[in-house]
A and B are shown apart, each in its own frame.
Chain A
Amino acid sequence: MLGILTGIIILLASGFLALLIRGRRLWASYVGAGGVVAAAVLGVVSSARILSSGGVESLRLAWALPLGELHVSVDALSAVFLLAVFGMSGLSAVYGIEYLAPYGGRKPLGVSWFFFNLLAASMVMVLVARDAVLFLIAWETMSLASFFLVAFENERAEVREAAWTYLVATHLGTAFLLVMFALLGRAAGCFDFDRFGELKLLSGNMGSVLFILALVGFGTKAGFMPVHVWLPEAHPAAPSHVSALMSGVMIKTGIYGLVRVLTWAERPVWWWGYLMVAIGLTSGVFGVLFALAQHDLKRLLAYHSVENIGIIGTGIGVGLIGMSFDLPALVVLGFSGAFLHVINHAIFKGLLFLAAGAVLHETGTRNIERLGGLIKSMPWTGLAFFVGAAAICGLPPLNGFVSELLIYLGAFNGAKSMAALVAAPMLAVVVGLALIGGLAAACFAKAFGIVFQGEPRSEQAAHAHECVGLMRVPMLFLAIGCALIGLFGPWVVSVLAPAVECVSGLPLSSVAGQLATSMRPLTLVAGCGVVLIMLGAGFALVRWRLLRHRSVSTAVTWDCGYVRPTARMQYTASSFAQPLTALFSPVLRTARKAVAIDDVFPGHSELETHTPDVAGEFLFRPIFSGVGALFSRLLWLQQGRLQVYILYVAIALVTLLVWKTR
C-alpha cells in the first residue's frame, strides 16, 4: 500500500516538476519519464507482493471535503490491474522520451509530461479508491488528463475533433456512473465501497438497473460496441506512447469498474451473463471486421482494442453465467481468462502501438497503403510488431493463446452441460471466439504483410531507418513479456487465483482446485510452445549451416521474373482484405469511389474506399442531430440580455421558496 501511494506521489511530483521546466528541450522529458519509471518499479513490486500474498491492504484518512472519505485499499483484483498500469506506464514513458523529441522545439513538452504523469497517477487512484466520491474524482481526472494528451497535436483539425469526440463520450459515460453511485449511496447511506459490498446492493430489480448503468458507464470507457465510437478516433490522434497507455491500460479501468461493481452482487441475475456474452461477442466480431477494413495503422489497432475488450467481456460473461447457474468451473475459467487477457492485451496492444508509433515516427505516415518492406530497414520494430501480431491473434506459444484458451475451456466445459440454457450461450462463445481469432489472423496478416514485407510503396517508406535504442528497449521488454506469459502460462494463471476469489466469492481452495484441472492443457500447450521454439531455432540453424558456404542472392519481393518490377504491382492492403470485406459488406457499408477501366487502352483510373464507423454513423449521428434540433427550439430562452437571465434565476428561486413554504 505504502509503495503504491508513494508511487502516486512520485508521479504527481515529477509531473509538476516537468511542467515547471521550460526552455531546455529534453529536460522535461527526462524528469517526467524518470518519475514514471521510478513509480512504476515501486508500484510493480508492491502490487506483485500483494497479489502473491493474496492479502488486502487498506488505509483510511479523515477528509475535509464534504461527502465520502479518503479510503484506499489494494486487494488482488486491484493488484492485477495495477500491475498492468504501472508496467505499461513505465515502458511507454521511456518510449515517449525519444518519440516526443522531434516536437521539442515547437511544443511545450513539460505540459505533455504533466498530463501523462497525471494520467498514470489517476489510473492508479481509480484502482485503489474505495470511496465513490474519491473514485469519481480520480475517474474524471483520468478522463481529462487523457483528453489533453489526445489533443497534443491540436493544431490539426482532425486531432481536435477526435479529442472532442472523446471528451463527449467519456462525459456521457460518467453521467451514467454518477447516477449509479448516487443510487448506491442512497441505498447504503454512505459512499464506501466496502459498505456496498456488505449490503450486497446489486440484487433484485434495483440491482439490474445498477448493472445496466455500470455497463453503459464503464463500457463507454472500455469500448464495448456500440459505445466504442471514441476509440477509433482518439487512439490514432494521440501520440503513440499515449495510445499505447490508453489502449493498453486506460480502457481496462472500465473493465475494472465493471468487475468491481459485480463484486457487490449477491448473485448475478441470469440474463446479466447472457448480455455480457452478447455484448462481448458483438464487440469482438464487429471490432475485428472494422479493423480489417481500415487503411490507417493506428486506427486498425484501435478497432482491435474493441475486439479484445470484447474477448474480455465474453470471459466475464462466461463467469457470470457460471455464477448464476452455480457452475464453479465456468466462474473460475471465465474470470481468470478475462483477467489474464487484461494483462495480455496491455502487453501486446502496448507493443503493437509502440511499433506502429516507431513506423509513424520514421516514415511520417500511418497509411498502410504507403508503407511496405520495412522489415529490411527496421528489423527490430518489425520483429516486435510480428510478436505482438502473433500474440493478438491468439497464436501459441504466445500469451494471447493462453488467455483465450482459458475462456475456450470454460465455454467447452459449459457446452458439455446438460442444461440447454447454459450450453447454448457457451456454444455461441466457442463459435464467436473462433470467428474472432480467424478474422484477427487475417487482419494481422494484412497489417504485417503490407507494412513490413514486400517493397516500399512510397518514398517515405523507402528511406525509413530503425528507431533509436530508447524506443527499442520498451518494445523488447514487451515482446519478451508476450513470450514469457505464453511459456509460463500455468504458473501465471495460478497467480491470478486470489483475484478470481475476489469476484466470485468462491473460497480460494475451490478456485485453486478448479484451476488445477485446467493445468493439464495449459502445461501441454506450454510444452508444445517450447518444442515449437526449439524446432524454429533448429531450422534456422540448419538453414544457416546449409547456406554458409554458398552464394546467396536476394531479389525484390514480387519479382515474378519481370525485367522492371515495380512496387505498384504488389498486393495492396485493400485488395488483400477485399474478399473478406466484400463478404461482410452489409455490415461494413464501405463507401467506394472508383474510376472504372472500360477502354481497350485504359487511361487514368483510381479506387478509393472509406469505411465509416457504423455505430457512429447510423446510431449516434442521428441521435445527436435529433437532440441538437430539439435544443435549438429552446434557443428563444437565450435572449442575450443579462436582465432576462437574472429574471430566470429570480423566478427559479422564488418558485422554490414558495414551493417549500407552501
Chain B
Amino acid sequence: MSVELILTVVVLTNLRLLGASRLGACIRTVGLQGLLLGLLPLATGGRLTTLHVVVLAVGSMVLKGFVFPRLLFWALREAHVTREVEPFIGYTGSLLIGGFMLGGAVWLGDRLVIGGTTDLSWVVAVAMFSILTGLFLIVARKRAIHQVLGFLVMENGIYIFGIGAIPGIPLLVELGLLLDIFVAVFVMGIAVYHINREFDHMETDKLDVLRG
C-alpha cells in the first residue's frame, strides 16, 4: 500500500465521520482510521521501519483498531443510543464545512515547511484536516460519544503530523500521547455511562445549568 492511498482513505474516513448519523458506523470508521494509521509508518518503505516505530505502530493499531471501538460499543450499549439526533450543525452542512476545512488544511500544509519531508508533502495537510475534523466533531455534536470520537480523530491527526515530522517527535512523547489517549477514552467511556445513568440522556448541551 502506498502512503498516498492511506492518506486518501484517511481523508475519506474523515468526510464519512462528518456525514454519518449512526454512532456505530462512526465508531467503526474511527477504528478503521486507527488501523490505517498503524500501517502508515510501515508503508513509508524502510525509512521509518526501525524497531521502536514498528512496536509503536502495532501497539496503536491494537489500541485504536480494537480496544477503543470495543470500549465505545460497550458504552453505546449501556447508554441505549444508536444515533445522533438534531446535531448543532446538520450533516449536509457538516460536509460542506468539511470541504472548506480540507481546503484550509491544504493551504496551511503548503505554508508549514517541515524539513526533509518532500516525499510526504501531503502529510501535513491530512494531519491538519484530521485535527480540524476532530475539533469540529467535538464542537458540532451533542452526544458525549461523539466528543470521544472527535478527540480520537484529533489525536490521529497529531499522529500523522508526528510521522511527517519524524525524527522530530521522540518515542517518549509518542508513548505519552498514546497513554494519554488511552486514559482519556477509558475515563470518558465511564463518564458517558455515568452521565447517562444519572440524567437518562448523554446530551452534553443539557449540562448548562451551571451558567452564571
Task: Flag whether A554 is at the interface (Cβ < 8 A).
Answer: no
Interface size on B, residues (CB 8 A): 20
How far apart sit A384 and B112, CA to CA, in the bound complex (Å)?
74
| Complex: chain A residue closest to B108, CB-CB | A661
Pair B139/A646 contact, Cβ less than 8 Å: yes
Contact present for A641 and B204 (CB under 8 Å): yes
Cross-chain contact A640 with B112 (CB below 8 angstroms): no
Total CB contacts across the A-B interface at under 8 A: 39
The 8 A CB mask of A618-638 against B (1 = contact, 0 = none) is: 000000000000000001001
- Which residues of the other chain, A, contact B139 by a CB distance below 8 angstroms? 643-644, 646-647, 650
Contact across chains for B138 and A646 when beta carbons are under 8 A apart: yes
Counting chain A residues whose Cβ lies within 8 A of the other chain, the interface size class is 10 to 19
**A654: B residues at CB distance < 8 A:** 132
B115 beta carbon closer than 8 Å to chain A = no
Which listed residue (A635, A638, A643, A661) contacts B138, Cβ 8 A? A643
Instruction: From known contacts A635-B212, A643-B138, A650-B139, infer whether A658 and B108 are also in contact, taking CB-CB under 8 Å.
Output: yes
Query: Does B111 sit within 8 A of A, measured CB to CB?
Result: yes
Closest residue of chain B to A644, judged by CB? Answer: B139
Q: Check: A657 CB closer than 8 A to any chain B CB.
A: yes
Q: Is the CB of A640 within 8 A of B211?
A: yes
B211 touches which one: A639, A643, A657 (CB < 8 A)? A639
Nearest CB on A from B130, distance (A)? 14
Given A643-B140, A661-B108, A661-B111, A650 contacting B207 (CB threshold 8 A):
no
Quick check: is A552 within 8 A (CB to CB) of the other chain?
no
Which residues, 80 to 103 on A, are CB-close (under 8 Å) to B?
none
B207 / chain A contacts, CB cutoff of 8 Å: 640-642
Determine the distance from Cα of A163 to Cα of B117 in the docked complex, in whole angstroms: 57
Interface presence of B88 (CB below 8 A) = yes
With both beta carbons as reference points, the residue of chain A lying nearest to B101 in the complex is identified as A654
Residue of A nearest to B112 (CB): A661
| A641 touches which of B111, B132, B205 (Cβ 8 Å) | B205
- Of the candidates A638, A642, A647, the one whose C-beta lies within 8 Å of that of B204 is A642
| Closest chain B CB from A97 CB (angstroms) | 44
Roughly how many angstroms separate A540 CA and B208 CA in the complex, as a whole number?
Answer: 77
Cα distance A558–B212 in the bound complex, in angstroms? 60
Q: Give CA–CA (A644, B132) in the complex, Å.
A: 15
Known: A650-B135, A657-B108. A643 touches B88 (CB 8 A): yes
Q: Which residue of A lies closest to B88 (CB)?
A: A643
In the assembled complex, the Cα of A640 lies from the Cα of B208 at a distance in Å of 4
Q: Report Cα–Cα, A646/B134, bound state, in Å.
A: 11
Q: Cβ of B209 < 8 Å from any Cβ of A?
A: yes
A640 touches B108 (CB 8 A): no
A650 CA to B111 CA, complexed, in Å? 19
Q: Is the CB of B212 within 8 A of A638?
A: yes
Provide the A230-245 mask, 1 if CB < 8 A to any CB of B, else 0: 0000000000000000
A661 to B109, CA, bound (A): 10
CA–CA, A647 to B204, complex, Å? 14
Q: Does B173 contact A (CB under 8 A)?
A: no
A641 to B207, CA, bound (A): 7
Asked if B33 is at the interface of the complex by the 8 Å CB criterion, the answer is: no
Interchain CA distance A658-B101 in the complex, whole Å: 13
- Bound-state CA distance A173–B141 (Å) is 43
Please, how many angstroms separate the alpha-carbon atoms of A25 and B211 in the complex?
44
B147 within 8 A of A: yes
**Shortest distance between the CB of B185 and any CB in chain A (Å):** 17
Contacts of B205 in A (CB 8 A): 641, 643
Q: How far is the CA of A662 from the CA of B108 in the complex (A)?
A: 9
Q: Identify the closest chain A residue to B110 (Cβ).
A: A661
How far is it, in angstroms, between the C-alpha of A642 and the C-alpha of B211 when the chains are bound? Answer: 11
Closest chain B residue, CB of each to CB of A632: B212
Q: Which residue of A lies closest to B209 (CB)?
A: A640
- Across-interface contacts of A643 in B (CB, < 8 A): 88, 138-142, 204-205
Q: Which 9 A-B pairs have the closest CB atoms?
A: A640-B208, A640-B211, A661-B111, A650-B135, A647-B139, A643-B139, A646-B138, A642-B204, A646-B139
A-B contact pairs, 26 of them (CB 8 A): A638-B211, A638-B212, A639-B208, A640-B208, A640-B209, A640-B210, A640-B211, A641-B208, A642-B147, A642-B204, A642-B207, A643-B139, A643-B140, A643-B141, A643-B205, A644-B139, A646-B135, A646-B139, A650-B135, A650-B139, A654-B132, A657-B108, A658-B108, A661-B108, A661-B111, A662-B111
Given contacts A638-B212, A646-B139, 20 further A-B contacts (CB under 8 A): A635-B212, A639-B208, A640-B208, A640-B210, A640-B211, A641-B205, A641-B208, A642-B207, A643-B141, A643-B204, A644-B139, A646-B135, A647-B139, A650-B135, A654-B132, A657-B108, A661-B108, A661-B111, A661-B112, A662-B111
